[in-house]
Structure 1
Amino acid sequence: MRGHNWINSCLPDELIVEILRRLDSKPSRDACSLVCKRWLALERLRRTTLRVGATGSSDLFLNLLAGRFSNVRNVYIDERLSISLPVQRGKRGSRSQTSVSSLNQCAFEKNGIEDAEFESSHFSDSGLIALGEGLPKLEKLSLIWCSNVSSAGLISLANKCTYLKSLDLQGCYVGDLGLAAVGKSCKQLEDLNLRFCEGLTDMGLVELAISCAKSLKSLGIAACAKITDISLEAVGLHCKSLEILSLDSEFMHNKGVIAIAQGCPCLRILKLQCINVTDEALKAVGTSCLSLELLALYSFQRFTDKGLRAIGNGCKKLKDLTLSDCYFLSDNGLEAIATGCKELTHLEVNGCHNIGTLGLELIGKSCPRLTELALLYCQRIGNTALHEIGRGCKFLQSLELVDCSSIGDEAICSIAEGCRNLKKLHIRRCYEIGNKGIMAIGENCKSLTDLSLRFCDRVGDEALVAIGECSCLQYLNVSGCHQIGDAGIIAIARGCPELTYLDVSVLQNLGDMAMAELGEGCPNLKEIVLSHCRQITDVGISHLVRNCTLLESCHMVFCPGVTSSAVATVVSGCPNIKKLLVEKWKVSQRTKRRAGSIISYLCADL
């Protein structure tokens, strides 16, 4: 019968909720929620996650959201993101503006506020209290730089949200009483992140460690000047199930880290940036943490190869190792890792100037499961190191090289011939790498999806013609490779139809012909960076936009051939555009009215 609502008459709530759950995108679910009040209510019930900016009357918004989305389990609140309360503008009777304004008016009346002006405020204890009262089933709460939150709000939330499992207090000035209350009420707490919590001392963390002794599995501490080894000793004594520890502090010493190592045998992930920790602590980790899988050491100045040898001798399950600015490590330490940690899959060496070719050669010979390798600012590592990686690490999928002046085409050819499963290759400022090495990649690594060759000034069109044979390529960055022109980008356009990201900034020889080919061959392109391309004009932009209707981000500053006409073309031709970076004087008043919210300006006075 015409006009009869068969769906709402026949289908139960549970089935409609399941249908909404199976929709593949948030816009689709939002559209369905507008069908009728019943669908709107059911769609709200299935929401489990809220992400909210914390400025601009955020307490009011949290009060509203908590009342409408009662099944939410995860809440992310970020002070760095803003909320703007809409005010009625433009045409009278606009549905969206009227509904939002009505919503705000009702909320203010409910809270006893009669003023029509909406004053900007920050997330505070009032918002936390509203969360606790409206979302008692909350399991994960992230408060990023919410500096107006205090112990009072945290105590109120802890008393209501007893199912809380994860709490991130980055940049919040909460005190010991609030943290102790969380420990007392939230017995299921597993994950705690305390980064830049300057108001906390050992007292609060010790109380939480005692209360959550059986549940706590992950702890992060950074830049908390009043938290010392006493806290870590308490965690090591009580929290036997701890699996993850991230520690960044100049106030921690060996005593605290040793307590964790000896008291937490389940430790799997350890990240340390502590200038006062020495080899003694790493020896304890190597002796006691036999389940360790990930180790990251940053800016260590007081430990040597002795500590790394202890890790190699004891942590046989180690899979992921990061060594950053560890000045006293040498090839001997890396040799211990190579011989002892056969399951190693990820290795990053960053700024460790005493590690050279020999250490990496041993990794290539002894760690056949290596899938990711990053070498940053490693001046002493030469071609033969990557030759051994190519020979021994057949499963390598990701390689990153930054400022490695001794690595050239010979090394890249070895990687290309031996690691044919390579999917990601990032090279920056490696001036000995040119066409020969990149051509070898294009000829051998057909699964390549991500290629970045920033400021490699020996790479030209010939290399990109070979890369054009990698039909799976999705990400390409060749910024600063001044020898690349139209021919290279045209080859990419014709051979890589899956391309979604392209950065060709500072290519002085790139012109409109390449833009036209990109428009024809890469319809999935979503982000493009064209800044400092002097040969590109409005004509090229027009050809690009004609078929690349999925474009979401476009940077085209310092392109003298691009005018306000091209800016208007991008705005009108790309319905999905979210960010457009141009000079301010190139944006007409009409374009500004139409798309002012998505336009960003650089050097507005030029």
Structure 2
Amino acid sequence: MARRESAKREEEGPKVCINEALTDDELRAVLARLEREEEKDTFGLVCKRWLRLQSSERRRLRARAGPAMLRRMAHRFSGVVELDLSQSASRSFYPGVTDSDLSVIAAGFRILRVLNLQNCKGVTDSGMIILGNGLQMLQSLDISHCRKLTDKGLTAVALGCCSLRRFHLAGCKSITDDLLQALSRSCSHLEELGLAGCNNITDSGLSFLANGCRYIKYLDVSKCSKIGDVGVSRIAEVSSSSLKTLKLLDCYKVGDKSIFSLANSCHNLETLVIGGCRDVSDGSMKSLALACANSLKNLRMDWCLNIADLSLSCLLSNCRYLMALDIGCCDKITDSAFQALGMGGFESDLKVLKASNCLRITVTGVGTILQYCKSMEYLDLRSCPNVTRLGCEQAGLQFPEHCKTNFEGSLSESNAMVDMFFEGKPE
């Protein structure tokens, strides 16, 4: 028996350990085929060699750590290009990342492309200067609601990170047009800029920006009360072929001239937010509907009090890819506008319709919407005095099973699924 076992082992040959048989490149190929992060973490549990490879191949990292831990992470995860140290708004009392942490990041994550510091209240201009000097390959930076920052620190970022393509600064209220001038000089490849709530920005700043940044795809200047037609028209003219998302929420100085400029130049526009722009009227919106008939997907124009049936009919009958529409508080709109849904020669893709506080819409109009919008997922009918749940039931209206219909509640309530449509963030 012993002889037979010995002979069998000789025939099979010596056993080879998998770590001896596979090269590092072959193990990296195996790791690359694992899609879920859990699977990749399990890969690293096999042995120290596999852990080292798994760590070096990691490209994204989300953490909350101080300087000592950040140094260890930088040593272990040498290939990280995306680092997320952001905080939720609910933790806004906690300073989060500090300037000392940014010193470690700039020294340890030298190939970093994406950095998210949203809601990190402890960051100051000194930390931004460190980033500008140390992370010259940075392409995306989100410092929204880091309220201690001013032009001094952010100009250092603009001048040091010339490859910047995505820059979000919502709520950084101390910045001025000087920063946009610096971006124009140094960041010619900038595509995405978020300035919501930066209310010191003016038309001059947007004109400065347009001089050097000519490929803007996404621009959010919501609640920038000093922005008007001059700045928006300049951006529309310069970024005509690239602009896909423009958000002008509560920019009350924006009127028809801006919309006509968009209609004349920006025929690839997909998402437009003009809620609260009360001087926008039917003539310009009809022009936009015809110019962007094959591109417009999401339109928010709540509180545009001069909008009536004429422009809405044109939008519904021409914009075949329209998915989300907000006409809340547009009290001139009547049921007649929705008759256009059957006149376009195409099946409507409308998934979201917010029509809250539209005083002249009745159950008849809702019936027309349901007849032609088979893809509807969310219908907001709050504070519509002529539309009630009982009235719809008595009229025999059948709402799709997958459609959430909102008849009640405060108009200040938001819905994450609905808000996502009007974000318009590039993929």
The two structures share one fold, judged by TM-score above 0.5: yes
> 1:136: which partner in 2?
42
Residues 508 and 535, structure 1, Cα contact 8 Å, conserved in 2: no
Q: Cα gap change, 1:160/1:466 in structure 2, threshold over 3 Å: closer, same or farther?
A: farther
Q: Cα gap change, 1:330/1:72 in structure 2, threshold over 3 Å: closer, same or farther?
A: closer
Residues 193 and 219, structure 2, Cα contact 8 Å, conserved in 1: yes
Query: Deviations 1:121-146 (Å, cap 9, x if unpaired)?
Result: xxxxxxxxxx99xx6237xxxxxxxx
* 3-state SS of 1:324 partner: coil
* 3-state SS of 1:250 partner: coil
> 1:491: which partner in 2?
368
> 1:213-228 maps to which residues of 2 (within 5 A)?
213-222=78-87, 223=92, 225=95, 227-228=97-98
Shift of 1:390: 1.0
> 1:153: which partner in 2?
none
Shift of 1:229: 0.9
Query: Deviations 1:97-156 (Å, cap 9, x if unpaired)?
Result: xxxxxxxxxxxxxxxxxxxxxxxxxxxxxxxxxx99xx6237xxxxxxxxxxxxxxxxx9
Residues 469 and 496, structure 1, Cα contact 8 Å, conserved in 2: no
Q: Say yes or no: does 1:480 pair with 2:341.
A: no
Q: Distance in 2 between matches of 1:344 and 1:370?
A: 6
User: How many residues matched?
Assistant: 365
Q: Say yes or no: does 1:206 pair with 2:71.
A: yes
Select 1:332's aligned residue among 200, 204, 211. 204
Q: Distance in 2 between matches of 1:324 and 1:557?
A: 29
> 1:446: which partner in 2?
320
Q: Cα gap change, 1:556/1:480 in structure 2, threshold over 3 Å: closer, same or farther?
A: closer
Residues 383 and 407, structure 1, Cα contact 8 Å, conserved in 2: yes
Tell which has more relative contact order, 1 or 2 (C-alpha 8 A, sep 6+).
Answer: 2
> 1:191: which partner in 2?
60
Shift of 1:392: 0.8
Shift of 1:358: 0.9
Q: Aligned-pair RMSD on alpha carbons?
A: 3.1
Q: Distance in 2 between matches of 1:217 and 1:192?
A: 6
Q: Cα gap change, 1:214/1:193 in structure 2, threshold over 3 Å: closer, same or farther?
A: closer
Q: Say yes or no: does 1:505 pair with 2:382.
A: yes
> 2:157: which partner in 1?
285
Which letter does structure 1 place at the counterpart of 2:402?
L
Query: Deviations 1:169-227 (Å, cap 9, x if unpaired)?
Result: xxxxxxxxxxxxxxxxx344432234xx5xx4333223323443443432323355363
Q: Distance in 1 between matches of 2:261 and 2:403?
A: 42
> 1:240: which partner in 2?
110
Q: Distance in 2 between matches of 1:443 and 1:346?
A: 26
Q: Cα gap change, 1:552/1:294 in structure 2, threshold over 3 Å: closer, same or farther?
A: same
Q: Say yes or no: does 1:419 pair with 2:273.
A: no
Q: Distance in 2 between matches of 1:359 and 1:332?
A: 7
Shift of 1:468: 4.1
Select 2:37's aligned residue among 65, 74, 77. 74
Residues 469 and 495, structure 1, Cα contact 8 Å, conserved in 2: no
Shift of 1:264: 1.8
Residues 277 and 304, structure 2, Cα contact 8 Å, conserved in 1: yes
Q: Cα gap change, 1:468/1:313 in structure 2, threshold over 3 Å: closer, same or farther?
A: farther
Q: Say yes or no: does 1:390 pair with 2:241.
A: no
> 1:400: which partner in 2?
273
Query: Deviations 1:79-104 (Å, cap 9, x if unpaired)?
Result: xxxxxxxxxxxxxxxxxxxxxxxxxx
Q: Distance in 1 between matches of 2:238 and 2:153?
A: 26
Which letter does structure 1 place at the counterpart of 2:391?
Q
Query: Deviations 1:461-511 (Å, cap 9, x if unpaired)?
Result: 12222244352333222222121123433333343344344333333324x
Select 1:535's aligned residue among 391, 395, 405. 391
Q: Cα gap change, 1:556/1:254 in structure 2, threshold over 3 Å: closer, same or farther?
A: closer
Residues 438 and 467, structure 1, Cα contact 8 Å, conserved in 2: no
Q: Say yes or no: does 1:551 pair with 2:416.
A: no
Residues 508 and 534, structure 1, Cα contact 8 Å, conserved in 2: no
Residues 142 and 167, structure 2, Cα contact 8 Å, conserved in 1: yes
Q: Distance in 1 between matches of 2:110 and 2:167?
A: 19
Query: Deviations 1:377-417 (Å, cap 9, x if unpaired)?
Result: 11111210111111110111211222222222233123113
* 3-state SS of 1:218 partner: strand
Q: Distance in 2 between matches of 1:394 and 1:551?
A: 33
Q: Cα gap change, 1:72/1:301 in structure 2, threshold over 3 Å: closer, same or farther?
A: closer
Residues 450 and 474, structure 1, Cα contact 8 Å, conserved in 2: yes
Q: Say yes or no: does 1:341 pair with 2:213.
A: yes
Q: Cα gap change, 1:73/1:444 in structure 2, threshold over 3 Å: closer, same or farther?
A: closer
Q: Cα gap change, 1:398/1:468 in structure 2, threshold over 3 Å: closer, same or farther?
A: farther
Q: Cα gap change, 1:157/1:402 in structure 2, threshold over 3 Å: closer, same or farther?
A: farther
* 3-state SS of 2:233 partner: helix
> 2:131: which partner in 1?
260
Which letter does structure 2 place at the counterpart of 1:244?
V
> 1:317: which partner in 2?
189
Residues 202 and 227, structure 1, Cα contact 8 Å, conserved in 2: no
Q: Cα gap change, 1:484/1:387 in structure 2, threshold over 3 Å: closer, same or farther?
A: same
Q: Distance in 2 between matches of 1:391 and 1:232?
A: 44
> 2:254: which partner in 1?
381
* 3-state SS of 2:43 partner: coil
Q: Cα gap change, 1:449/1:316 in structure 2, threshold over 3 Å: closer, same or farther?
A: same
Shift of 1:540: 4.4
* 3-state SS of 1:373 partner: strand
Q: Distance in 2 between matches of 1:311 and 1:324?
A: 17
> 1:460: which partner in 2?
334
Gap regions ≥5 residues in structure 1: 1-70, 76-130, 139-155, 166-185, 511-531, 559-606
* 3-state SS of 1:354 partner: coil
Residues 214 and 240, structure 1, Cα contact 8 Å, conserved in 2: no
Q: Distance in 1 between matches of 2:229 and 2:284?
A: 12
Residues 96 and 120, structure 2, Cα contact 8 Å, conserved in 1: no
Q: Distance in 1 between matches of 2:235 and 2:35?
A: 47
Q: Distance in 2 between matches of 1:469 and 1:496?
A: 13
Residues 453 and 478, structure 1, Cα contact 8 Å, conserved in 2: yes
Residues 96 and 121, structure 2, Cα contact 8 Å, conserved in 1: no
Shift of 1:242: 0.6
Gap regions ≥5 residues in structure 2: 1-33, 410-427
Q: Cα gap change, 1:328/1:486 in structure 2, threshold over 3 Å: closer, same or farther?
A: same
* 3-state SS of 1:505 partner: coil
Shift of 1:289: 1.8
Q: Cα gap change, 1:490/1:215 in structure 2, threshold over 3 Å: closer, same or farther?
A: closer
> 1:11-90 maps to which residues of 2 (within 5 A)?
73-74=36-37
Residues 268 and 292, structure 1, Cα contact 8 Å, conserved in 2: yes
Residues 285 and 311, structure 1, Cα contact 8 Å, conserved in 2: no
Q: Distance in 2 between matches of 1:488 and 1:351?
A: 32
Residues 441 and 467, structure 1, Cα contact 8 Å, conserved in 2: no
Residues 244 and 270, structure 1, Cα contact 8 Å, conserved in 2: yes
Which letter does structure 2 place at the counterpart of 1:190?
R
Q: Cα gap change, 1:397/1:463 in structure 2, threshold over 3 Å: closer, same or farther?
A: same
Query: Deviations 1:228-267 (Å, cap 9, x if unpaired)?
Result: 1111112112212111111132221122222222222221
* 3-state SS of 2:361 partner: coil
